[in-house]
């Protein structure tokens, strides 16, 4: 049976100001958690949910992303001749995947980044993954979202309950629970804590339908002077039903320094090779 959704957009053209100076000349999406860049975690998660084709929205200083998913002849030869089979397999494990790259010339916002991918998506539904939102690999919310999409054929955003003091960092939805999904009544980008309709925040996993492009084409800049996806979804809500799906596992905002540290510690503790040793180290450290 042909899958309903096979394409993913990976917006990666943001300036990453929360992580300066690290992101001045190198992509935030290439920052590693242990030994793998954020964007590779996102790609592997999508593949585990049945996605087959990727378009990365890139910008200035983002060339390292293209190089990362390209072949590396010299390195491969070196690993082959020195018998490092496991490492060779590791660096080649995504070599069968199709990547396309579209440049967003000016970082005008997430909504605008998604609009740049219109020629790639054409008239199919698609997923959007923000690599700096790292999701516990044991709970790939996208898989549930695709299953729900197959049933409801509506756009779906991933949701997380966040502390009320943090609502102004997110797009927040007003919705009512309808079975396992929230039927969204309204969305607002970065509301002030007192005016937020709930503490249900949109996180970086979306299933969208091509009609979002018509809205994005007319979308005016919103919060922060950027063309916001949340504003476009709010407009789309006048035309069709949009659902939210609550994530189950941990989600780390790795575009933020504290979130990045938390992801690194949690992934390190689960690491098969040195998780135990790392835990011993942390225990000692916290005692001293
Ligand atoms: P963020 O809100 O994290 O913005 O973007 P940012 O610029 O990357 O980082 P900060 O906030 O300045 O630290 C969410 C996602 O949207 C992409 C980013 O690359 C990130 O994956 N994005 C954002 C674009 O592709 N283009 C844009 O114009 C803005």
pLDDT (tens digit, 9 = 90+) per residue, 169-194? 999 999 999 889 999 999 998 998 78
Peptide bond into 21 cis (omega under 30): yes
Give the integer Cα–Cα distance in Å for 202 and 184. Answer: 11
Ligand 1, atom 1, lies closest to the CA of 14
pLDDT of residue 122: 86
Give me ligand 1 centre to Cα 109, in Å.
7
Q: Give residue 246's pLDDT.
A: 95
pLDDT at 53 over 90: yes
- Say how many Å lie between the CA of residue 159 and the centre of ligand 1: 18
**Average pLDDT of the residues in 50-69:** 94
Q: Is pLDDT at 117 greater than 70 in this prediction?
A: yes
* Ligand 1 mutation pick, 39, 104, 110, max ligand atoms within 8 A of CB: 110
Q: How far is the CA of 59 from the centre of ligand 1 (A)?
A: 11
Q: Is 271 exposed, middle or buried (0-12, 13-18, 19+ CB in 10 A)?
A: middle
Ligand 1 in reach of 14 Cβ (< 6 A): yes
For residue 215, the tally of other CB atoms under 10 A from its CB is 20
- In the chain, the percentage of residues whose pLDDT exceeds 70 is 99
The predicted pLDDT at position 112 comes to 97
Which residue has tokens 């959704």?
5
Go through the domains of the chain in sequence order and give each one's CATH number.
7-255 (3.90.550.10)
Average pLDDT over residues 20-38: 95
Residue 3 has pLDDT above 90, yes or no: no
pLDDT of residue 1: 59
Inter-CA distances, 244 with 55, 110, 258, 267, 273, Å: 24, 19, 26, 27, 37
HEC string of 163-207 equals: CHHHHHHCEEEEEEEECCEEEEEEEEECCCHHHCCCCEEEEEEEE
Q: Which residue minimizes the CA distance to atom 10 of ligand 1?
A: 16
Predicted confidence band of residue 87 (pLDDT cuts 50, 70, 90): very high
For ligand 1, is residue 132 a contact (CB within 6 Å)? yes
**CA–CA distance, 56 with 42 (Å, rounded to integer):** 11
Give the confidence band of 50 by pLDDT, cuts at 50, 70, 90: very high
Q: With 0-12 CB in 10 A as exposed, 13-18 as middle and 19+ as buried, what is 201? A: buried
For residue 131, the ligand 1 atom closest to its alpha carbon is: 21
CA 78 / ligand 1 centre spacing (Å): 36
171 lines ligand 1 (CB under 6 A): no
- Judge contact between 201 and 159, C-beta under 8 A: yes
pLDDT in tens, 233-284: 999 999 999 999 999 989 999 999 999 999 999 999 999 999 999 999 999 9
274 half-sphere exposure, CB direction, 13 A CA radius: 7
Residue 62: its pLDDT value, please? 93
Tokens describing residue 71:
């072949």
Q: What mean pLDDT do residues 130-137 have?
A: 95
Neighbours of 225 (CB within 10 A): 9
Q: What's the token pair of residue 196?
A: 């937020």
The burial of 16, by beta-carbon neighbours within 10 Å (0-12 exposed, 13-18 middle, 19 or more buried), is given as buried
Q: According to the model, what pLDDT value does residue 78 have?
A: 93
Average the pLDDT over 216-234 and give the result: 93
Mean pLDDT of 103-125: 95
| Closest protein CA for atom 5 of ligand 1 | 14
Helix axes 275-287, 257-269, angle to 10 degrees: 120
> Ligand 1 pocket, 237 CB below 6 A?
no
Percent of the chain with pLDDT over 90: 89
Q: Please tell me the distance between residue 15's alpha carbon and the centre of ligand 1 in angstroms.
A: 6
Is the Cβ–Cβ distance between 201 and 170 less than 8 Å?
yes
User: Pairing relation of β-strands 133-135 and 156-161?
Assistant: unpaired
Q: Which of 14, 43, 59, 109 for a ligand 1 pocket mutation test, highest count of atoms within 8 Å of Cβ? A: 14
Phi/psi region, residue 61 (left: phi>0; alpha: psi -120 to 50; beta: rest), is: left
Q: Which pLDDT does position 74 carry in this prediction?
A: 93
Average pLDDT, stretch 145-149?
96
pLDDT at 233: 96
Under DSSP, the state recorded for 164 is: G
């Amino acid at each position: 049976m042909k899958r309903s959704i096979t394409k993913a957009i990976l917006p990666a053209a943001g300036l990453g100001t929360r992580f300066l100076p690290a992101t001045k000349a190198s992509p935030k999406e290439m920052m590693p958690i242990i030994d793998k860049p954020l964007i590779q975690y996102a790609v592997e998660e999508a593949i585990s949910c049945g996605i087959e084709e990727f378009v990365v929205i890139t910008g200035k200083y983002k060339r390292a992303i293209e190089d990362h998913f390209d072949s590396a002849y010299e390195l491969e030869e070196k690993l082959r001749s020195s018998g490092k089979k496991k490492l060779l397999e590791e660096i080649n494990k995504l070599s069968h995947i199709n990547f396309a790259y579209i440049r967003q010339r000016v970082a005008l916002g997430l909504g605008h980044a998604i609009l740049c991918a219109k020629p790639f998506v054409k008239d199919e539904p698609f997923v959007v993954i923000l690599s700096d939102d790292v999701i516990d690999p044991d709970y790939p919310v996208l898989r549930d979202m695709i299953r729900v999409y197959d049933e409801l054929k509506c756009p779906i955003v991933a949701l997380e309950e966040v502390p009320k003091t943090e609502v102004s960092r997110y797009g927040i939805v007003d919705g009512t629970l309808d079975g396992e999904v929230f039927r969204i009544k309204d969305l607002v980008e970065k509301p002030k804590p007192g005016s937020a309709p709930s503490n249900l925040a949109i996180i970086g996993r979306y299933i969208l339908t091509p009609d979002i492009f018509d809205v994005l084409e007319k979308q005016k800049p919103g919060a922060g002077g950027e063309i916001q996806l949340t504003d476009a979804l709010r407009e789309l809500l006048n035309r069709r039903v949009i659902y939210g799906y609550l994530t189950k596992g941990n989600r780390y905002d790795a575009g933020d320094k504290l979130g990045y540290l938390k992801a690194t510690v949690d992934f390190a503790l689960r690491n098969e090779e040195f998780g135990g040793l790392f835990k011993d180290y942390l225990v000692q450290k916290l005692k001293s």
